[in-house]
Structure 1
Amino acid sequence: MTMPFPEPTIPAAGRTEVFLRYLDYFRETVATKVSALPDAELRRSRLSSGWTPLELVKHLRHVELRWIEWGFQGRDVGDPWADRRDDRWYVAPEETRESLLDALRTQGAHTRSVVEANHLSTRGAPGPRWDGAQPPPLERVLFHLLQEYARHLGHLDVVTELAGGPVGE
């Protein structure tokens, strides 16, 4: 599914809607780009840093998990760093494009429900995510998520172009 860019000229009910539109757009664009890649490119790295497109998908799912569930909600999520092994991103051989994209979209639906149920000024729950600091308000958490998605989507743009996949937004 290709989602239109959330142009600033499209009216929105408020900042919450703007945040959610951009998060949905970035998430779905990642899914579209990864879905367009040939199977041989999913576990192949085209960059010296060594990450693969599937590792990026899993990482972004865990970024949302860490910031929304473990952080803002203060929930026990088991291993919040389950996207890593030996200090790098990791995808197990049995994990598939479909399962990772489903997990990303499910996490996104959870993020949306949490955001819609809270005001942007609501502070996160105290917990280990904040390492003893005062939890930030939801708006700051969402701003951080947007920069993560935008940055990593830019990385994925380069990788998919090198792999012969879709170019640009």
Structure 2
Amino acid sequence: MTNSPLSPTDPIASRNEVLAAYLDDFRAIVIGKVTHLAPEEQRRSRLASGWTPVEMLKHLRFVELRWIEWGFQGRTFDEPWGDWRDERWHVDPDESLEDLVAALRAQGEHTREVVLAADLAEVGQPGPRWDGAEPATLERIMLHLVQEYARHAGHLDIVAELAQTGSADAERPA
């Protein structure tokens, strides 16, 4: 697993900024791991579950959309599950790595703006995202997103080992 450049002793102004910074860091780590893979490995599945690294990028973009925009902000989307088709993650062949990375980064910028402008104790808007449950606070949503990214970064380490490209951490010192 990549060591984060963030340290518990780094001076950061608020809990909002801490959570946004960790999410930004894990997003950059995931993007770095996928782009470090050879192009043929980016669209190849090496695990029994069948997902590919580019599918993970699209999945994470939609995870942020579902939790921040659809859940917390209560926005309406025609396809909040746009990463999901035929019971699995999906990327169309014409979706480029560059476009997927750009979409994930743009989603991340939106997430950061929302998190820095809101109170972490604020509760998400009622709506279909919550499937009848009480909406979560922004703090709980952010903790969920950080763990989701951390878990998937570890999955990408396994994929990189299987692809024999090491741990995909060439962009960071250990």
Give the alignment's TM-score, normalised by structure 1.
0.94
CA contact (8 A) 1:51 1:89 kept: yes
CA RMSD, 1 decimal = 1.6
Q: Secondary structure at the match of 1:77?
A: coil
Displaced runs of 4 or more, over 2 A: none
| Equivalent residue pairs, number | 168
Q: Secondary structure at the match of 1:161?
A: helix
Larger RCO of the pair (alpha carbons < 8 Å, separation 6+): 2
- The offset of 1:164, in angstroms, is 2.9
Sequence identity (%) = 59
1:143 maps to 2:143: yes
Please give the alpha-carbon distance, in whole angstroms, between the structure 2 residues aligned to 1:106 and 1:77.
17
- Which letter does structure 2 place at the counterpart of 1:62? F
CA contact (8 A) 2:61 2:104 kept: yes
1:43-101 deviation per Cα after TM superposition (whole angstroms, max 9, x unaligned)? 10111111100000000000000000000000012211110111100000000110000
CA contact (8 A) 2:160 2:168 kept: no
| Alignment-derived partner of residue 159 in structure 1 | 159
| Alignment-derived partner of residue 23 in structure 1 | 23
**Structure 2: where are the runs of 5+ without partners?**
170-174
- Which letter does structure 2 place at the counterpart of 1:123? V
Please give the alpha-carbon distance, in whole angstroms, between the structure 1 residues aligned to 2:32 and 2:129.
30
Please give the alpha-carbon distance, in whole angstroms, between the structure 2 residues aligned to 1:102 and 1:34.
13
Please give the alpha-carbon distance, in whole angstroms, between the structure 2 residues aligned to 1:134 and 1:104.
27
- Which letter does structure 2 place at the counterpart of 1:29? I
| Alignment-derived partner of residue 6 in structure 1 | 6
| Alignment-derived partner of residue 62 in structure 1 | 62
CA contact (8 A) 1:74 1:127 kept: yes
